[in-house]
Amino acid sequence: MTRVAPGVLKYASLIIAAVVVLLPLSVVLFASFKTSGEYSTTGPLAPPSNWFNLENFSIAFRQGGMVEGFVNTTIVLVVSLVGTILIGTMAAYAIDRFAFRGRRLIMGLFLVATLIPSVTSQVATFQIISGLGLFNTKAALVLLFLGTDIIAIYIFMQFMAGIPVSLDEAAMIDGANRWTIYWRVILPLLKPAIATVVIIKGIAIYNEFYLPFLYLPSEGMISTSLFNFKGPFGAQWEVIAAGTILVILPTLVAFLFLQRWIYKGLTAGAVK
Amino acid sequence: MSVSTTGPDPVGISGPLHGVAVLDEGGRRGADGGPGGRRGPGRSPRRAGRQGRRDGPAGRRVLSRLTPYLFVAAAVGLLLLLTYLPAANMLWYSITDWNGLGPVENVVGLDNYVEVFTNPRILSVFGVSLYYFVGAFIQMALALYFATLLSFSTRFSNFFRGVIFFPYLINGVAIGFVFLYLFQPGGTLDTVLGWFGMTDPPQWLGDADIANYSLAGTSVWRYTGLNFVLFLGAIQSIPNDLYEAAELDGANRWQQFTNIIFPGIRRIIGLSFILAVSGSLSVFEIPFIMTGGANGTATFVIQTLQTAFSYRQVGLASAMAVVLLGIVLVVTWIQRKLFPDEKVDLT
């Protein structure tokens, strides 16, 4: 007899949660398909009369500079990810496999660095980036994404510790040097860690708002292109809605395909 | 972010089993993502080092001594350039009245710090943090509730998991717009509340008394998913036979929750709590995108960055950043004291 009530409560709460999450997103989706006349006459919860009205999307895409945003984000994303993987795995390899002077100090430096929220040091970081002459270039963003990624190095170090040293030794007996071991043995074995880092960092870079806003004012990234909609499209909510949907869409697709790995990556990355 | 790679070196488990055991542990850890197992680098580096020294002529010996440094050079270089150098500069700027242009002119000692702690405009931002701090508790409670619910058999559990988690992945600017749209006068929220008979809704973002609640609510919507996934992972790493034993003993769900689940994930709850403290101090994106800090919604970080880049008071802004950093370090230190990095033992 007490079985039924908890069951009802349980599903009721889950359904409420789903509505709370999906409702704000659905109304934006609705708005994105409405013509401006329709938008001003219908309520926000009324579905659009024509689900194939793609005009807002094309306005957002063309006038909102979203093409540029997607291209720039892709470039920065790919370069930063490749760089992070190479730099991070190399550091993890050295720290885990070599005994060298300063090893503990370096580990301590990485440890303390996790405590510094990067948004607090932007005031001073900005002076360094502009001192290097990188202000307003994509290189500034790449450099910042590479340099602030301590979590990735930790994930690599964790996985590194799980790769048996006997593999290195076997390769060494076969005459491989350190670089060959890293490139041919270690890097392929770190694939799961690399997948984790690509996912966590990929999400972070795609969603990053402040760094492009501050360091790359003249070109749009996904976030800043969308943010700029506030000006010219201030009153045209149907166009802003279309832009918002365009930005969310790739995330949704990636999520649907990579669900399991995303969960795993976050549980491995967020707590370490 | 606690780090679990710095444990004391285990005293050697020798023989070929060494590697196998470690791999097994690593694999399991990766799969369940539970509270971090740890393993010091142990014997491996020393052994590898000896191996390195064995190979031949002097030139190669120098090279092999340099090898580890070559491997870490890029990472350490970037770390120093983009983390430690800015931190050191920040300390230096914080005792000057520099405007960010040209050379630093005057050293003003602790004046900036006095300003931070006496200027009501700056101090008021701590009040704003309280909204997010309370929000973080609601967020953790919701996440814990749904994580517990969805770790037992539930219909469509994958769907519900996905739905609860997904907001965390959405771009901050997109979330800002979604909620600006939701909170519009006569918009979605007002319409829905109208169904329930609320005819005179407040100005969700325009009214200074309400705006921070709206923003903190948006923040809860955005971040509950992350806590949810972390809790879910931790709950699932609790061995199943504990529940079976509890069920045999006649424990109900609530008893199972208080006696098994809660103690089992205490560490991650503690960690989330501390992250909530430092997180609510460093809130930035949602209020910046949605209100630009208007109507008394400016947070510490918004205030700091405006001071630096709009008012060009880099010295004062640096002092603010140093204070924030100090608070975060203290909070983290407390976390380390209260929740030392160790495995949770249920037995």
The token pair at A166 is: 């006997």
CB contact under 8 A, B79 and A109: yes
In the chain, the amino acid numbered B266 is: R
Give the pLDDT of residue A189.
92
CB A84 within 8 A of CB A243: no
Please give the Cα distance from A96 to A181 (Å, whole number). Answer: 14
Determine whether the interchain pair B173/A209 forms a contact, defined as Cβ–Cβ distance below 8 Å.
yes
Q: Given pLDDT bands bounded at 50, 70 and 90, which one contains residue B143?
A: very high
Which residues of chain A from 27 to 56 reach within 8 Å of chain B, CB to CB?
27-28, 31, 43-45
Residue in B27, B184, B285 nearest the CB of A209: B285
ipTM: 0.90
Placement of tokens 């949660």 in the chain: A17
| Below-50 pLDDT ranges, chain A | 1
Instruction: Identify all chain A residues contacting B22, using CB atoms and an 8 Å cutoff.
Output: 161-162, 164
C-alpha to C-alpha distance for A217 and A129, rounded to whole angstroms: 14
Phi-psi region of B205 (alpha: psi -120 to 50; beta: other; left: phi over 0): alpha
Q: How far is B95 from chain A (nearest CA, A)?
A: 13
The CA distance from A64 to A61, in Å, is: 6
CA atoms of B13 and B18, how far apart (whole Å) = 6
Q: Name every residue whose Cβ is closer than 8 Å to that of residue B54 and which is 6 or more positions away in sequence.
A: none
β-bridge mates for residue B96, sequence order: B107
**What distance in Å separates residue B209's CA from the closest CA in chain A?**
23
C-alpha–C-alpha distance, residues B123 and A74, integer Å = 40
pLDDT (average), residues B157-171: 94
CA atoms within 13 A on the CB side of B246: 18
Strands (E) in chain B, as ranges, are none
pLDDT band at B56 (very low <50, low <70, confident <90, very high): low
Residues 215-234 of A with CB under 8 A from B: 222-224, 226-227, 229
pLDDT at position A20, please?
95
Whole-number Å distance between alpha carbons of A181 and A186: 6
Other beta carbons within 10 Å of A238: 25
| Residues paired with residue A110 on neighbouring β-strands, in sequence order | none
Total beta-carbon pairs less than 8 A apart between chain A and chain B: 323
The answer for residues whose C-beta is within 8 angstroms of residue A56's C-beta and 6 or more apart is: A32, A33, A34, A238, A239, A241, A242
Task: Give the pLDDT confidence of A115-168 residue by residue, as tens digits.
Answer: 777 777 888 999 999 999 999 999 999 999 998 778 888 889 888 888 898 888
Q: What is the pLDDT of residue A4?
A: 62
* CB contact B8 to A (< 8 Å): no
> Do A72 and A141 touch, CB atoms closer than 8 A?
no
Give the pair of three-digit tokens for residue B193: 């509340």
d(CA B128, CA B121): 12
